[in-house]
Amino acid sequence: MTIRDDVEKLVVRLAPRPVCDECVAHTLGLSMLHHVDQATRELAGSNGFERRKDTCSLCGETRPVTARN
Ligand SMILES: [Zn+2]
């Protein structure tokens, strides 16, 4: 298992609601935010995943989020 796999599962579970990197990190218990950022960037554009600036469904902040439609 990689962080990318964990991130993908979480985004799929929340779909189609968007989630920001910080909430992904918090939910998965990760401390190094830049790894989450790398994972969400890798996901974007594949299998219906997209990255955009939107309101996070968990924290309500407007930030770069990842969602699967
Ligand atoms: Zn959030």
Model pLDDT, residue 45: 87
CATH code where residue 50 lies:
1.10.10
- Ramachandran area for residue 65 (φ above 0: left; ψ -120 to 50: alpha; else beta): beta
pLDDT confidence of residue 28: 95
Residue span of the structural domain in which 50 resides: 3-68
The rounded Å distance from CA 1 to ligand 1 centre is 23
- Tell how far the Cα of 3 is from the centroid of ligand 1, in angstroms: 17
Task: Quick: pLDDT tens for 8-47.
Answer: 999 999 999 999 999 999 999 998 667 899 999 999 988 9
Distance in angstroms (rounded) separating the CA atoms of residues 9 and 53: 20
Count of domains forming the chain:
1
Whole-model pTM?
Answer: 0.90
CA distance 67 to 58: 12
**Measured in angstroms, how far is the CA atom of residue 8 from the centroid of ligand 1?**
16
